Amino acid sequence: MIEIDPLLVREVIEDGKRVDGRPLDGYREVSIETNVVPSAEGSARVRLGDTEVLAGVKIDVGTPFGDTPDEGVLMVGTEFVPLASPEFESGPPGEEAVEVARVVDRAIRESKSIDVKKLCITPKEKVWMVYVDVDVLDDNGNLIDASSLAALAALMTAKMPVLNEDGRVDHDKKGTEPLPVTGRPLCTTFVKIGDKIIADPSSAEMHALDARLTVGTFEKDGHVKLCSMQKGGSMGLTLDEIDTIVKLAEQKGAELRKHIK
């Protein structure tokens, strides 16, 4: 990956252009492959330009939380493979990895796109535990959106495991019943550089940003709804800029969903 001076990035964007030639509101090319990990209940590899992530879904039986005795559990985790970027280090998840996981998790959770009550097997005793693990294989910016796409595609291809007579998962049988997912929640990320708002920031643009806003959207009754937001960067955003970003999020979210069959 060629490093680009953030000052150069800012100068180009101030002229209403981008270093890679995209329009300010344009996303890079999206590629999605599903069922790429045979051992997982669902999986997807996503390429967003040169950013590449892999998501896998594992579903197992567990005990519900005490305050939600009749609800299943959803957990999202991310791992930054050191070879994906010189900035990544081996060891426990860093601050950025934790943020990516939380933002992706929040969009899915707050959209109510997975009916967790349907994941209850026996109240207070036994529920389905859905784990979404995202590995970052190559980082060229906008890991949140790439991870969100991969997580959703993996969840939508996931099949519920088969239980044996003892109530345990039968690992010798493949399930056919899909995980109940509706609404297709997705994250869309925008950054402010100078007085310009741009979509799907590359790594060079991430290093030049003043502010970042990720908006989670989902579909309901034929309309796009908001479900989450996450602010980043050292500077603020005006109400007009937030309004612009929300409108772009609705539009770009709809465009991204077309890539998920």
Per-residue pLDDT of the chain (261 residues; tens, 9 = 90+): 557 888 999 999 999 999 999 999 999 999 999 999 999 999 999 999 999 999 999 999 999 999 999 999 999 999 987 665 666 666 556 788 899 999 999 999 999 999 999 999 999 999 999 999 999 999 999 999 999 999 999 999 999 998 888 878 887 788 889 999 999 999 999 999 999 999 999 999 999 999 999 999 999 888 899 999 999 998 999 999 999 999 999 999 999 999 987
Tokens linked to 28: 């890079």
The domains located in the chain, with CATH, are: 6-257 (3.30.230.70)
User: What is the value of pTM for the model shown?
Assistant: 0.92
Residue that is written with structure tokens 């991204």 in the block: 256
